[in-house]
A and B are shown apart, each in its own frame.
Chain A
Amino acid sequence: MSYRRNFDVELAELKQDILRMASLVEQSIYKAMEALLKQDPLMAKDVITGDDVVDRLRYEVESNCIRLIATQQPIARDLRVIVTGIKILINLERMGDHAVDIARAAMCVCGRMPAKALEKIPEMARRVQLMVKEGLDAYVHGDVEKARVMCAMDDEVDEIYNLTFQSLISYMEQNPHSIPCVVYLLLVTRYLERLADRATNIGEDVIYLVTGEWQELN
């Protein structure tokens, strides 16, 4: 039996808060990619304004973590729950920023995007979104194996990133008039690649949370 029921409730709430924030960020990424692929400036705008909520949540939940450290003096697993909570919050907040970056790029290319230049970008986005989802599932279930498998997917994303980067450069060489637009696609691939790295960070945090060991997986 636990003598820290209130604390247990607070830790459970922390996890819920993180998941709430995570689902907002997942939606932002999804919408930002939709905005790009469907050339939908309104949706892009939605992502940009929606980021305020994510930022606010981050500070709220982070303050809460600091309060828990000060008042509960957590150790062992409790400490890991809170420390990884803070790290995941920061990662999620940055992921939200990348979604905004993608949405901004989508607005810049609206109405003039050469569909042929897209190449593997939609596939890259799907993989990144899958990584984010798997990372969060691993967090929900404390699933180390899932976290590892997810982190391994980062290599594929990096590979697609390199290929796409090259082919976008060739595309620009052959279609110089498209450069002002395709440059934004180049940026999008970069943001996607960063998103995958952030997902990997979350995977590492999950492994630390469960095992107490740090593993560098990217």
Chain B
Amino acid sequence: MDNKNKITVKDLNLYYGDHQALSNVALEIQEHQITALIGPSGCGKSTFLRTLNRMNDLIEGVRVEGQVLLDGKDIYGPDVDVVQLRKRVGMVFQRPNPFPMSVYDNVAYGPRIHGLKNKRRLDEIVEASLRAAALWDEVGDRLFRSALGLSGGQQQRLCIARLLAVEPEVVLMDEPTSALDPISTLRIEELLQELKNKYTIVIVTHNMQQAARVSDVTAFFLNGEIVEVGKTDQLFTKPRDKRTEDYITGRFG
């Protein structure tokens, strides 16, 4: 694991009003690796994920302290363009949320927003993104039908394609398969393995086996703190902290 750090989080604290949701979080997220975030409900995984592309800015009363360095540069710095940041660091949510428009328009949405008008270039991006998201074979012949007619697993891959179309560097995923059946879940997991060659991926999951299967590094959160970070195979065979062991083996009170 001598990859370079894509994101470095230092001394991160986050408050929702008076409620402190993250305390002194520090984490190094390596390029071209999949980092899994695990921990009990309410421990701050989603909150943490949202700090990585400043999605929390959209929530009333949130205060963030500390640093999140993307390629060494603090994303909370004064001269950061948040729209540009979210293009570089994109997010896939728990429930597939395709826009109520055609498959094609969903994928072309981002590039168009960023000013791309050339039809042929858009066609190329749409096809490449759908292929990268392992969806092309299923929807290549119905690009102009509504995305809402796709299955849940297809919709989720469409959302991934939509994200890839704007060529992000980091992909954040918040329980991306929790609404999917086992086969769709495995397809997305397979897809992650392919995507990691090009992107840096951070995934929140409640499924221990999923974290164990897909990730290179796992961080265990508890009450807004990181209790343990380690190589996934080490953390799942020989966790260092008793609390990690209790959580991953289901003996948690």
Contact = CB atoms under 8 A, between A and B. Distances in A.
A2 interface: yes
Contacts of B249: 4, 74-78
Contact of A75 (B237, B252, B253): B237
A1 B253 contact: yes
Contacts, number: 37
Contacts of B237: 75-76, 79-80, 212
B250 A3 contact: yes
A49 interface: no
A168 to B, nearest CB: 45
B121 interface: no
A7 B245 CA distance: 15
A71 interface: no
Interface string A1-30: 111100110000000000000000000000
B152 interface: no
Interface in B210-253: 212, 236-239, 245, 248-253
B195 interface: no
A76 B209 CA distance: 12
A3 B208 contact: no
Contacts of A78: 249
A104 B137 CA distance: 67
A73 B239 contact: no
Contacts of A75: 208, 212, 236-237, 248-249
Contacts of B209: 73
Contacts of B245: 76-77
Interface of B: 208-209, 212, 236-239, 245, 248-253
Interface of A: 1-4, 7-8, 73-80, 212-213
Given A2-B251, A4-B250, A75-B208, 10 more contacts: A1-B253, A3-B250, A7-B250, A74-B249, A75-B212, A76-B237, A76-B249, A77-B245, A212-B237, A213-B238
